[in-house]
Structure 1
Amino acid sequence: MKHRKHGFQRPFTNDQMLSWVAEPIAAVMFYLVVATFTFGDQRIVYLSVYSVLLAAHLVCWLLCSLLDPSVDEGCFWPCMKEAQKEKRYCAVCHKSVIGLDHHCTWLNTCIGKRQYPWFFSLVAIGFIMFWFETILFILLLTKLFTDEVSAKALDVFNSVTTYKVLVSLCVVFAGGLAIALSVLFVFHLFLQFTGMGTYAWMIDGRNKKVAKKKAQKQNTVQSEANVEQASKTVSNV
């Protein structure tokens, strides 16, 4: 079977298509709300910071998606040199990948040694970007909710309540993405400290579960043997 070379090859995954919808919605929300309800230098700063983060996020996303991880290029990630030396086979992409970390359903491709720096950057930048977006939306409901913003809300929606409801929905949407990226970011920071990749961490966890079940089974057998021995002793007495 022909192996997959990049993440834009069919079939697309549900997670991948969901990301194609969710992230553009978050970006459109930010630009519409901030461009409309912030003013002067503040607006320029907020839009500039977000645009830089978004551009960097898109570059990392494209590199992660388009680079073929089976090609032996790129540098070892400093904290994961040992984990990235092995070549493993991905049953989804039908190919062997140098330093396979995991198969990402959100990108629809394997993440190996070649893309891991871009993948980690994608997660880190996304973490910063979505929290920046979420916090700014919260500020637009609180500290940045000035008389000027209130007047603009009345002009656009004829209601301050409508403005607050819509921005609150933006907080929930962007906050959900921020929390999801936070979990992923913290997990990969944890992997940096352990020196393990995702695949090795999963195998290690599975081995620990198997060992725990085996120990529990042995303890159960030993307990039953002890009870049986005690019963025999009582009978003999």
Structure 2
Amino acid sequence: MEKVLEELKGASPKDVVESLVKKFNATPERAGKVLVQTKQILRWFSNKRQRCKGKCTMVSTTSNTEPLPLNDHPAKSAIANSDEVPSGRQPLDSSELEFEAKSSKDGAWYDVATFLTHRILESGEPEVRVRFAGFGAEEDEWVNVRKAVRQRSIPCEASDCVSIRPGDTVLCFREGIEQAIYFDACVIDVQRKRHDVRGCRCRFLIRYDHDKIEERVPLRRVYRRPEV
């Protein structure tokens, strides 16, 4: 994966990603486990670029619909004016931001590849039609800008574990029998452990917001919110 990332020089061609998905799922170690999905590989590439460069390059998909420029999109003002931005902090430059959106189909958060268009409902609520990274046009959705679009959650490094505390809202990777996707969760408790050559060994007890199920997870499955 590291070698492929270096060869791609920041891009994530669909044929390369699909080839990696097939290779992972064909290995004996994956027998009987949840299949690796395209969006997981795409997110891995995006996470690595974010860690190495400080910001990521959006994954683009071919579409007959002309996407809206990100800087002119209502998602920009929605985030720039968000109440989540602590007082005293400078407004975020959304030209350098990536976004994630919440799907109404399963309540999970997915990376946004493209904002296609937008509309204002009769109620006054703004909505955007998004193309999710790793998915085709058939999975496009209208989502509420205020409630279902936000700045992309940040993968945690080993040194970030001290900033994850009980009561924090995080995005957590959940792997089940039929799905492996990202949900919002609340940190209930933190079991601190000494770090070693493998990195952070701490364990985080989290409760998923959508079904209240609790699970103890390692740091690698935790994504922190930018405002925390």
TM-score range, shorter chain: under 0.3
Quick check: which one's helix share is greater?
Answer: 1
Quick check: which one's strand share is greater?
Answer: 2
Structure with higher RCO (Cα < 8 A, 6+ apart): 1
TM-score after normalising by structure 2: 0.23
